[in-house]
Amino acid sequence: MNKTPRSSRIHIAIFGRRNAGKSSLINAITGQDTSLVSPVKGTTTDPVYKSMELLPVGPVVFIDTAGIDDEGSLGELRKKKTMEILNRSEAALIVFDSTEKDTSLEIELVKMIDQKNIPFMCILNKCDLEKKIQWSGLNGIPLVETSAVEKTGIKTLKEKLVKILPKDNEKFRIVGNLVNPGDFVVLVVPIDKAAPKGRLILPQQQTIRDILESDAIAVVTKEYELKETLENLGRKPGLVITDSQAFLKVSADTPKDIPMTSFSILFARSKGDLSELVKGAASIDKLKDGDKILIAEACTHHRQSDDIGTVKIPRWIRQHTGKKLVFEFSSGMSFPGDIEKYSLVVHCGSCMINRQELLYRIQNAKSSGVPIVNYGVLIAFIHGILDRALKPFPYTSIVWDEIKREEYDYANHGKSTKHY
Ligand SMILES: Nc1nc2c(ncn2[C@@H]2O[C@H](COP(=O)(O)OP(=O)(O)OP(=O)(O)O)[C@@H](O)[C@H]2O)c(=O)[nH]1
Ligand SMILES: [Mg+2]
């Protein structure tokens, strides 16, 4: 169960003031004593992630956080940090310390979370001790009473938590809504030097799993055996999915009436807003000399000599545009605040962050007026395969056709006919 990647789990953040018992509660909920608990205020400093299987929901990850009262009030920095965690959370737990009189911080937090439309639940902890809490302003807020030390109320807490979480089938699927039960889905997986030894990469494994969950049939082949595979299947497959590198050969070998796309496009769709990312790709052709481009990676991985983010993507964009561009790089869980200065944001494939966080980043770029594309859509665009790869997604395909039509009109008549 711990093999489920963290980014595929439902993220549940826990907030409250220092010493409210946040870490103790996470230990009690998960049944593991791995979060550091102590009577010293401020024990937890950076967010701590703890995975578990919460039945019947499935894999979840709890995010233990630092107390919200670090600076005496919900100061700007603390608000920013809390927001960063909220942006990657699908639900929140707010812990009240029943031995504290003042609840103003917690109520401020409830308002912040409610405004973001994130489902939340309040917990009144330390109920084994004498209550000093004053209830003003707390009317109507659903509350579960617990003692993390005596482990009371934990079962009720879990039962209520399950009810507020998004259902698994509401989460975005990879191929789920593209294929029908019984369909063949052909996956084209090149086994070249870049492929890891002895295994398939995570997006390929996750796609196969999703095909099986859809009661469809996964057929895996290399690009050289594709033609033979298609000829011998006996009926048309519902979908062909290929690695972007082999797209041109696979496209030539796959009859036009068979829907075909790439892993990178499927993941861009399941992780983010495909139409917005496609608009971002189109803006590559509008880049000018001196424009700044931000390449944002969510993780801090070991960089190889031909690293995708720092080497390949800048090279592809320079070759494609022929412009003198300035590339800047960011990595890690926080997105730079001053993105207005960029003409384009190129985001990584987001295997380390969840859909919620990527959607937030896309929204952030959009509201700053900066186009955003991700690696998957950019690769498809640079390889000239977007037309066919988007056909299985009618809405995005229309958006893409409109962009091309506008560019055609602009090039031929010097005016734009459509604003998007
Ligand atoms: N009596 C009682 N003590 C509790 C309860 N929950 C936590 N504590 C105690 O309160 C202290 C703080 O607990 P933590 O779980 O470290 O609190 P926290 O909210 O994670 O604190 P920070 O990480 O410092 O923000 C510890 O001494 C716990 O044993 C409870 O339900 N009842
Ligand atoms: Mg703690």
What is the 8-class DSSP label of residue 312? I
Domain end, chosen from 229, 258, 287, is at 258
Same domain as 212, residue 71 = no
Same domain as 154, residue 103 = yes
Residue bearing the CA closest to ligand 1, atom 2: 126
Question: Quick one: average pLDDT of 7-11?
Answer: 76
3-class DSSP state of 174: coil
Give me the CATH number covering residue 401. 3.40.50.11410
93 lines ligand 1 (CB under 6 A): no
pLDDT at 416: 47
Global confidence as pTM: 0.61
| Assigned token pair, 118 | 């994130």
Inside any domain, residue 420: no
Q: b/e string for 117-144 if b means 16 or more Cβ within 10 A?
A: ebbbbbbbbbbeeeeebeeeebeebeeb
41 lines ligand 1 (CB under 6 A): yes
43 lines ligand 1 (CB under 6 A): yes
Same domain as 11, residue 159 = yes
Question: Quick one: average pLDDT of 219-235?
Answer: 96
The mean pLDDT value of the chain amounts to 85
The answer, yes or no, to whether residue 136 has pLDDT greater than 60, is no
For residue 158, give its domain range: 6-169
48 lines ligand 1 (CB under 6 A): no
The answer, yes or no, to whether residue 222 has pLDDT greater than 80, is yes
Same domain as 150, residue 48 = yes
Please choose, from the candidates 243, 321, 314, the residue with its C-alpha nearest in 3D space to the C-alpha of residue 282: 321
pLDDT band at 129 (very low <50, low <70, confident <90, very high): very high
The answer, yes or no, to whether residue 295 has pLDDT greater than 60, is yes
pLDDT band at 418 (very low <50, low <70, confident <90, very high): very low
Same domain as 319, residue 250 = no
Question: Quick one: average pLDDT of 348-357?
Answer: 76
pLDDT at 93: 96
Inside any domain, residue 419: no
269 lines ligand 1 (CB under 6 A): no
The share of the chain scoring above pLDDT 90, in percent, equals: 40
Q: Which amino acid is at 178?
A: L
148 lines ligand 1 (CB under 6 A): yes
Stronger pLDDT, 284 or 143, i.e. the higher one: 284
49 and 122 in contact (C-beta within 8 Å)? no
What is the CA(67)–ligand 2 centre distance, in A? 7
The answer, yes or no, to whether residue 370 has pLDDT greater than 80, is yes
Domain end, chosen from 120, 144, 169, is at 169
Same domain as 192, residue 111 = no
Which atom of ligand 1 is closest in space to residue 36's alpha carbon? 16
Number of domains in the chain: 3
Residues in contact with 296: Cβ distance below 8 Å, sequence separation at least 6, in sequence order: 329, 330, 331, 335, 336, 345, 346, 347, 348, 361
Same domain as 96, residue 139 = yes
Which atom of ligand 1 is closest in space to residue 148's alpha carbon? 31
Which ligand has the minimum distance to the alpha carbon of residue 26? Answer: 1
Inside any domain, residue 324: yes
The CA radius of gyration of the chain, in Å to the nearest whole number, is 24
What is the CA(22)–ligand 2 centre distance, in A? 5
User: Nearest-5° angle of CA 379, CA 380, CA 381?
Assistant: 90
Question: Quick one: average pLDDT of 28-32?
Answer: 89
| Assigned token pair, 419 | 């604003």
Domain end, chosen from 258, 285, 320, is at 258
